[in-house]
Structure 1
């Protein structure tokens, strides 16, 4: 299947491969979840007899009824009045101003050198009165009334002004609303007529001024009234149609109200809402878009991204199938059996077979889809408790399954997931504020434990199938391959013990360096165990296996020796393929020498006067494609070189390591992998530290006296 997938990907391009896979996944998801959002519908008409009893399939707010009740509550709220204390002083001041105008005209007449006719005085006074705003004092005086004011003495006018303004101010201390103004004016007139001290000739004018001075001092506060009405509306609880509520009984007429409720619930066939279906399409598109972005931007080789994508969508699809099955059988139970769903299954599989980012995305996607699939109607969008249940369980596996070196580590993570699941169940039971019997409590907590156990069991059961089908290399698979009892490692130990020891030493160096730069240390270690497996074909031709001191290369032409040495990479790859080893291990066997040059045999050929193409003495490659292969290529050469040194010390080791790395850089061996100069410096430092620890100076103990 690996070959077919590679050919198909090369044919259409990786980007289009992602799009096709995600379109197929989205269609499958939509098909499985469509029934959960479509709802139950009836082909009813208004005023027909109901052929069956219809109950609400979900709890929903009746917005029409709610609005009616709120408007009713707002109408019941009366206007809010606001009393103004300034009105009394303002009206009293206007009364005073009127009499002051009269006194001013009289004063002008007295100061005039020529006599002013009474008619002219009346005209002057009328102009002054007209200067007042009509809204302040809408008075129209007759000429005789104005003349009566002008003929009064200054003393009478001052006394009348003081008495009337005081009376107006005192009277306006009590509240007067607009609808009560006329009654208040009549009452005030009665009050004036009962007082003494007003001149008889202007008494009617005083009454007129007094009546006009009385206005409303308590008016409606529109803003406060609006606020009160809004508060009254907000205090009204929404009217809801409850799940299970009978909308119409069998045999009853479907009246206008019942038909409206059925339409609101989307239970009429010709009025069925397309909104949930559109919402499901949007949810599916969002999920697929995020998955596309994740894998399209993932910085990894195409093969790894392709396999990770396929594993992710298959695991996600299997999760939806399992959720769909549980939802189909849940109708016959009084408890929520959705809590049996293995919360961490998808997360752990994707975490082990792809990477952490994909695992986080799948956790959220699975939780969102579960909320829709297990939605039972009393929540308007999704079953949030199931959504959160899966998120907490999945994230628990992410936090407690950081490194997997044994299958028992999965079981340890299962124990933590079980505790997290039970903690969430406790939260759920407490928040529902319902009374549960002992059998129900036992079921929910057992379901939480079973969910965790199923997550672990299915992960361990399905992991080998995915590893085999997609040639994937998980941490568990790497641990299995590092077992010394593996047939190839036993073969290496028995037939090329020197190479076996060399491989173990290189593994220690490469793992430490990879971990320092953030590469996969475990992959580097296991890759080192097998990188020289090709030497078992002709072990005696490699110096580490020449125990007798006889070197067969001494009797061979340099080009033949080079051919034998170079062949160990391709021989090793062929041997690894026969044993169906992961591609990553095969790649390390092929790439750990890159296209480097066998300088020893090239120089030997030149010394013998032979002329050869330099390519004859170069490894066929390819050059290292990954950081792990690059590190192993350096560690392999460094270990062999240091082992051949006489009396190695820190300074010699450092010079040697630097020279080997510089040689690889100058030979362009790292051009095809994304390793940086900074990382090469880190590798240099770690290799020196590790080698100094291995080849440290030993104390020379004094010889014992004989």
Structure 2
């Protein structure tokens, strides 16, 4: 115990030397350091990856997944989407002009054959007749009387008389007029057919084409369509040459009557792609990713990278993202305190405590990730910070800090929503569990509450995700249970050191100090019993009044118990410890007596610091007499002194005046109890007590002793009523027992 006390005293001295900063310069310095440490914690790996594999390399060992992860298999998803796009039906629309264009080509072919043959033949005849004009008048006369060559009809006999060279010339003329190609052999055969035969082939061609174009012909179906037309042609009862001519014509002119709608097809492909859901791949904790002796594939490399096991270059994008996230969150948290919690923003000790707890939890979360086990995934002690901040500062601060911590650890666990949610809710349970702490055991119970809730929360998340890995679930629930136990132990163990280091006083600390078994109080009871009982009554008065005006009643009671501990140095110099004995002040001068009386404040501060009492109690010890005048010895000095060199300042307490409502209440309770105890009037009279108390309070108000305490006139009236209520209970009139009854009671006691 002595060692612990010495350690806590050293912590307090260290805080005063290094942490008691009040300027904004230190606020900025600590904020920058805090940001750097958080960014480094989020960005750096504590242990570098040990795997360095490439696709096609043979693995030298088994590599297992340290934790369960789920991710989108981009390669498989892309493959399925490409397949869906390729198999999506294309959109075709019918072209009604195709049939007309095809038939026009056929008509144009036969018309060209007929016209060019007639024109060539009769033009040749006309030229030959002109050369033999003198020898053959009849021929010339006939030519002059006949129609032009284009309008003449060539006979079968004339066709048969065409030479091979002439037929070739006609073929050249026809070929130059066509917009599609026909072999010279088939064109020559067409030229040798008479008009009836040409008409027959033309009609056959048109009939076959019209029949075929009645059905849908896609560009991909053209080959089949040509085969069908050729087969139909070969089945006709005509000469072989005609079948070949007809087959080639149909083969050349047939065209698809359905065209591809590019825009509609693209939309159809896009719909098919969007209908393919992303392929989610799950790698469970303990699953073997690569076996020893297996050839590593690209898919294996992807899984290793997802798990963070693949050694590679520095991911600057990832690091930058983590730094940006931490910077934004810190700015938001700082703005929240600046805007909505001014008391926190202006207190550098509280800000530093918040930063320290945040950093502690984040670092612990980073360390826990090294174990790669579901048991430790849910052991992040966020609730520890929540509980400590609730006890030391308040639930509002704890709530916003809990949210901040939960968001900060998200990048550490690869944005795992389950970890973030359990961290935040565990912190909330911790806050709710310690809003009214009466003893340290309440902190342990808060940890048990966290364990209890985490069991159901982790189980619910598992059911929500339809996770059938029962081993993983059991490990996770076990981690949640240990989380709560760890939170209770850490919060309970760190609380007293944080109180001393950051000069904060929790309700737990005040309750402990209020216990009569405290060494100082036990010493006071033995060495200064009058002062002890006086302090107890002052504590009752102060606690009731503080509660009625909305001040810290627990602080008022604890501080009242210790406000006069300085009297332990010279207890016999104070009237409450003399018990009718010799008064040592009778043998000392008024000046020395006044010095001894007011020195109990300084002695009390020294004793409080030696015993590591909270600064709030030390401040009240300093302030509980303010700058009051020690009037008894001042008046005595005036009577004894024959000169006018007596100054009031020598008989006043050094102060300062009460700076808080609790200090002012204790001042009023102190003088009320002491003054009332010294009065001889009937204390059973409620009105006289109230008038007396109001007079004392009025005097302190007139003396300006309460100017800096933030007490209002309404508060003072409430305080007077509270004092009167307590004092009436203490000095209530007792019922006198009849003499006969007293004798019977005594007789009964003797017989017992």
TM-score range, shorter chain: 0.5 to 0.7
468, 474, 494: which one aligns with 1:435: 468
54, 59, 73: which one aligns with 2:71: 59
Q: Give the length in aligned residue pairs.
A: 545
Matched, 1:339 2:339: no
Residue of structure 1 in register with 2:443 after alignment: 410
Contact in 2 for aligned 1:657/1:684 (Cα 8 Å): yes
562, 571, 574: which one aligns with 2:594: 562
Whole-angstrom distance in 1 between the partners of 2:50 and 2:393: 43
1:291-317 deviation digits (Å, cap 9, x = unpaired): 434665756599x93433333322222
Matched, 1:22 2:31: yes
Q: Secondary structure at the match of 1:612?
A: coil
Whole-angstrom distance in 1 between the partners of 2:269 and 2:688: 90
Residue of structure 1 in register with 2:199 after alignment: none
Give, in angstroms, the shift of residue 586 of structure 1: 1.9
CA distance change for structure 1 residues 234 and 392 in 2, over 3 Å: closer, same or farther? same
Whole-angstrom distance in 2 between the partners of 1:684 and 1:611: 38
Residue of structure 2 in register with 1:618 after alignment: 652
Superposed counterparts of 1:227-266, under 5 Å = 237-238=277-278
Contact in 1 for aligned 2:629/2:651 (Cα 8 Å): yes
Two-structure CA RMSD over aligned residues (Å): 4.6
CA distance change for structure 1 residues 703 and 55 in 2, over 3 Å: closer, same or farther? closer
Residue of structure 1 in register with 2:672 after alignment: 638
Residue of structure 1 in register with 2:261 after alignment: none
675, 685, 689: which one aligns with 1:653: 689
Residue of structure 1 in register with 2:221 after alignment: none
Q: Secondary structure at the match of 2:485?
A: helix
Whole-angstrom distance in 2 between the partners of 1:422 and 1:402: 23
Q: Secondary structure at the match of 1:372?
A: coil
Superposed counterparts of 1:51-130, under 5 Å = 59-60=71-72
CA distance change for structure 1 residues 461 and 293 in 2, over 3 Å: closer, same or farther? same
Give, in angstroms, the shift of residue 700 of structure 1: 4.6
Contact in 1 for aligned 2:375/2:478 (Cα 8 Å): no
Superposed counterparts of 1:367-516, under 5 Å = 367-375=406-414, 382-437=415-470, 439-516=471-548
CA distance change for structure 1 residues 301 and 251 in 2, over 3 Å: closer, same or farther? closer
CA distance change for structure 1 residues 644 and 287 in 2, over 3 Å: closer, same or farther? farther
Superposed counterparts of 1:211-230, under 5 Å = none
Give, in angstroms, the shift of residue 61 of structure 1: 8.4
Whole-angstrom distance in 2 between the partners of 1:484 and 1:529: 9
CA distance change for structure 1 residues 641 and 311 in 2, over 3 Å: closer, same or farther? same
CA distance change for structure 1 residues 260 and 7 in 2, over 3 Å: closer, same or farther? closer
Whole-angstrom distance in 2 between the partners of 1:266 and 1:557: 83
Contact in 2 for aligned 1:263/1:272 (Cα 8 Å): no
Whole-angstrom distance in 2 between the partners of 1:355 and 1:339: 25
Whole-angstrom distance in 2 between the partners of 1:453 and 1:388: 19
Residue of structure 1 in register with 2:181 after alignment: none
Matched, 1:663 2:699: yes
Residue of structure 2 in register with 1:528 after alignment: 560
User: Which 4+ runs in 1 deviate beyond 4 A?
Assistant: 1-10, 36-44, 48-58, 60-79, 225-236, 238-246, 250-254, 257-275, 293-302, 607-611, 700-706
Contact in 2 for aligned 1:602/1:617 (Cα 8 Å): yes
Q: Which protein is bigger by CA-based radius of gyration?
A: 2
CA distance change for structure 1 residues 514 and 70 in 2, over 3 Å: closer, same or farther? farther
* Stretch moving more, 51-60 or 533-542: 51-60
Whole-angstrom distance in 2 between the partners of 1:619 and 1:50: 88
Give, in angstroms, the shift of residue 470 of structure 1: 4.0
* Stretch moving more, 514-523 or 630-639: 514-523
Contact in 2 for aligned 1:511/1:524 (Cα 8 Å): yes
Contact in 2 for aligned 1:38/1:276 (Cα 8 Å): no
Whole-angstrom distance in 2 between the partners of 1:78 and 1:693: 98
Q: Secondary structure at the match of 1:59?
A: strand
Whole-angstrom distance in 2 between the partners of 1:442 and 1:565: 68
* Stretch moving more, 289-298 or 387-396: 289-298
Q: Secondary structure at the match of 2:410?
A: helix
Matched, 1:326 2:380: no
Matched, 1:361 2:393: no
Unaligned runs of 5+ in 1: 80-224, 376-381
Whole-angstrom distance in 2 between the partners of 1:268 and 1:700: 91
Contact in 2 for aligned 1:311/1:353 (Cα 8 Å): no
Whole-angstrom distance in 1 between the partners of 2:583 and 2:507: 40
1:149-174 deviation digits (Å, cap 9, x = unpaired): xxxxxxxxxxxxxxxxxxxxxxxxxx
Contact in 2 for aligned 1:595/1:618 (Cα 8 Å): yes
**Normalising by structure 1, what TM-score?**
0.66
Give, in angstroms, the shift of residue 288 of structure 1: 2.6
Contact in 2 for aligned 1:37/1:276 (Cα 8 Å): no
Residue of structure 2 in register with 1:690 after alignment: 726
Unaligned runs of 5+ in 2: 1-10, 93-264, 744-752
Residue of structure 2 in register with 1:313 after alignment: 355
Whole-angstrom distance in 2 between the partners of 1:598 and 1:555: 18
Matched, 1:34 2:43: yes
CA distance change for structure 1 residues 366 and 266 in 2, over 3 Å: closer, same or farther? closer
Whole-angstrom distance in 2 between the partners of 1:290 and 1:663: 49
CA distance change for structure 1 residues 264 and 440 in 2, over 3 Å: closer, same or farther? closer
Give, in angstroms, the shift of residue 534 of structure 1: 1.1
Whole-angstrom distance in 2 between the partners of 1:422 and 1:347: 19
Contact in 1 for aligned 2:375/2:479 (Cα 8 Å): no
Whole-angstrom distance in 2 between the partners of 1:631 and 1:585: 13
Contact in 1 for aligned 2:661/2:709 (Cα 8 Å): yes
Matched, 1:538 2:570: yes
1:40-59 deviation digits (Å, cap 9, x = unpaired): 99999xxx986689999972
Give, in angstroms, the shift of residue 275 of structure 1: 4.9
* Stretch moving more, 439-448 or 619-628: 439-448
